[in-house]
Amino acid sequence: MSAQKAAELWTAVLGDLQLQITKPSYETWLSGTVGLACSDGLFVVGTPNPFVAEMLELRMSSLISSAIERVTTTPVEVQFKVTTVLPSSEETPSRSTASSPPRNTEIVYNSSSNGSSQGPSRGSRSLNPSYTFDSFVVGKSNELAHAAADAVSKRPGVNYNPLFLYSGVGLGKTHLLHAIGHRVLEKGLSLIYTTAEEFTNSYIRAIQEGTTERFRDHYRSADVLLVDDIQFIIGKEQTQEGFFHTFNALHMAARQIVITCDRPVTSLTLLEDRVRSRLSGGLVVDVQPPGLETRLAIVRTKASSLGQQFPEGVLEFLAERVHQNIRELGGCLNRIVAVAQLTQQPITKDLVETVIADSLPSPNHRRVTDEAVLTTVSSYFGIDQMTLRGRRRDKRTALARQVTMYLLREEASLSYAAAGKVLGGKDHTTVLHACNRISQQLLLDAHLRQDVTNLRESLLSL
Ligand code: ADP
Ligand code: MG
């Protein structure tokens, strides 16, 4: 196929992809790409730089292959290759982007200096106003994290730099991070709050636009930098590089950095050593799942903020039953109040029980077996189990196999090794890779999200 044909084909594929992913993602990752060649089931996509190539490979390759497949109606492998030629090779537009102000995907507050007009209003929209120190219930499981966050917010950049908070999901990391943010703003200091994902996006954009200098200056201007969910940059070498330099610059200037992560630093094995050791150079604290007493205190606080009366014993009952994470606890409480109001029934233990049963997976229901996963995926994708367990690698089979691995982990709670065994003796790293890949794809790919939701539903209704 001629190069021109490949380019045209890619334009059509881009049209398809544009419908499937968010505009910012599209613009960051795909708008600068070009179709280079297509032959023998291999489609080569040109990217403006290695960072984009890496990200596309890591996060979008199966999404892209399916899009190509839809357009060409034949399965293809996709390969990303750095090309110096941009699709629209006119000089002017790229110049003008380079000199336009950097697009901040993260939230920037600068309440002290210029623009008091935009600072506070953006602030109140972007930091969750209810995530404050006042609304944070302190118990044994989180007292260290709370104390460290409190200290850092009072004297940023002095002690505990960086502060690294980690815990499982829904245990209050983001809440504490925002609480620090509110207090820093009250002191009139400048703040940048960002997620690792947003950081990555603006870093890539800075590289594309040749504005890395400005990118770094921009971050260096902050008194306090808050980065949520750093686990996102695991395995993304170039982003780690960017993060490392930014981080170093801020650290040298004694600016406070606070980072959250959903796993301990030591388990961030794919994070480059120097980044990791830098992180653990400050103070590392974890938040544990709360004990009953703390859960009860949290439910009571939340209940009183809802302004609703609860009969004796109901809150205790709720705190006893919901113990995994605080987000679920709050969610259940809201639902109980809503259901009681909508159906005009009193709040009783029975009602609490029903709401919990409806909203949390009950231990009995959760016994999803590996056979159930295999059978369900196999019939959903129309691929027989032998093939699923085998080595065939066409896109559809490969995807179904990865989804199987993901569900074996998530729904049947198998270890990576055990999941590999179920699938005909695959290596545990293969399973690990598949699970990461699917988790990432789920963020981007609405079709996959629908498929996985359907599969989950049929598994849980078995
Ligand atoms: P994470 O970032 O660790 O996943 P979040 O900070 O988003 O968790 O917390 C989940 C929910 O639980 C939020 O609504 C938060 O306000 C609430 N929450 C967590 N910990 C506490 C706490 N100690 N006191 C009050 N609310 C809490
Ligand atoms: Mg969070």
Residue listed under structure tokens 């023998």: 40
pLDDT at 2 over 80: no
Residue nearest to atom 21 of ligand 1 (CA): 172
- Residue bearing the CA closest to ligand 1, atom 19: 172
CA distance 218 to 238: 19
Q: Which ligand is nearest to the CA of 176?
A: 1
**Nearest atom, ligand 1, residue 301 CA:** 25
* Angle, alpha carbons 95-98-104 (nearest 5°): 155
Q: Confidence band (pLDDT; 50, 70, 90) for 73?
A: confident
pTM of structure = 0.58
Using pLDDT thresholds of 50, 70 and 90, give the confidence band for residue 363: low
Atom of ligand 1 nearest to the CA of 229: 2
pLDDT of 408 reads 92
Closest residue (by CA) to atom 6 of ligand 1? 172
Report how far ligand 2's centroid is from the alpha carbon of 49 (Å). Answer: 31
Contact status, residue 35 vs residue 10, Cβ threshold 8 Å: yes
Residue owning tokens 């636009």: 209
Cα 172 to middle of ligand 1, angstroms: 3
Taking only the tens place, the pLDDT of each residue in 232-286 is 887 677 788 788 888 888 888 889 999 999 877 666 665 667 767 777 678 888 8
Predicted confidence at residue 361, as pLDDT, reads: 61
pLDDT reported for residue 105: 32
- State the pLDDT confidence band at 14, using cuts at 50, 70 and 90: confident
What average pLDDT does the structure give for the chain?
Answer: 81
Q: How far apart are CA 94 and CA 97, in angstroms?
A: 5
Mean pLDDT value of segment 39-63? 82
Which residues, in sequence order, are bridge partners of residue 108? Answer: 192
pLDDT(85) > 80: no
> Alpha helix (H) ranges present in 360-415?
370-381, 385-389, 395-410
Ligand 1 atom closest to 146 (CA)? 23
Query: Which ligand ends up closest to the CA of 180?
Result: 1
Q: What is the pLDDT of residue 266?
A: 64
C-alpha 400 to ligand 1 mean position (Å): 35
Q: What CA–CA distance (Å, rounded) separates 287 from 50?
A: 37
Ligand 1 closest atom vs CA 177: 6
Joined together, the tokens standing for residue 340 give 């009681």
CA of residue 96 to ligand 2 center, whole Å? 36
Which of 83-87, 332-336, 428-432 has the least mean pLDDT? 83-87
Quote the CA–CA distance of 304 and 310 in Å, as a whole number. 9
What distance in angstroms lies between residue 389's CA and the mean position of ligand 1's atoms? 41
Using CA atoms, how far residue 163 sits from 2, 40, 145, 278, 392, in Å, is: 54, 51, 9, 11, 47
C-alpha 325 to ligand 1 mean position (Å): 8
Q: Whose CA is nearest to atom 18 of ligand 1?
A: 172
What pLDDT does 188 receive? 92
**Gyration radius from the chain CA atoms:** 25
Task: Identify the pLDDT of residue 232.
Answer: 82
State yes or no: pLDDT of 89 exceeds 70.
no
What's the confidence (pLDDT) of residue 1? 64
| Res. 90 pLDDT band, cuts 50 70 90 | very low
The per-residue pLDDT for 117 is: 32
Q: Is the pLDDT of residue 387 over 70?
A: yes
What does the pLDDT read at residue 72?
A: 77
Of the candidates 199, 208, 203, the one whose C-alpha atom is nearest the C-alpha of residue 82 is: 208
Q: Pick the residue whose CA is nearest to atom 9 on ligand 1.
A: 172
Residue 162's closest CA among 71, 86, 97, 227?
A: 227
CA pair distance 118, 421, nearest whole angstrom: 56
Nearest ligand 1 atom to the CA of 169 is 4
The alpha carbon of 266 and the centre of ligand 1 are apart by a number of angstroms equal to: 23
The ligand with the least distance to the CA atom of 133 is: 1
Q: Look at residue 313 and tell me whether its pLDDT is greater than 70.
A: yes
Q: 313 vs 442, which has greater pLDDT?
A: 313
How many CA atoms are closer than 13 Å to the CA of 354, on its beta-carbon side? 11
Ligand 1 centre and the CA of 303: distance in Å? 15
193 Cα to the center of ligand 2, angstroms: 13
Ligand 1 atom closest to Cα of residue 228: 2
Distance 262 CA to ligand 2 centre (A): 8
Q: Is the pLDDT of residue 88 over 70?
A: no
CA distance 446 to 21: 8
CA distances from 194 to 125, 177, 254, 388, 458 (A): 14, 10, 19, 40, 37
Residue 366 has pLDDT above 70, yes or no: no
Token output for 47 = 């990217």
And the tokens for 324? 């995994």
The ligand placed nearest to the CA atom of residue 173 is: 1
Q: Kindly report the number of other CB atoms within 10 A of residue 73's CB atom.
A: 7
| Nearest by Cα to 165 from 192, 146, 191, 137 | 146
Ligand 1: which of 143, 165, 174, 175 to mutate, most ligand atoms within 8 Å of CB? 175
* Ligand 1, atom 5, residue with closest C-alpha: 172
- In the prediction, which pLDDT does 175 show? 96
For residue range 110-121, what is the model confidence (pLDDT) as tens digits?
433 333 333 332
Which residues does a 6 A CB cutoff place in the pocket of ligand 1?
Answer: 131, 135-137, 142, 167, 169-175, 298, 326-327, 330
Q: How far apart are CA 437 and CA 402, in angstroms?
A: 8
- 157-175, pLDDT tens digit by residue? 988 889 999 988 899 999 9
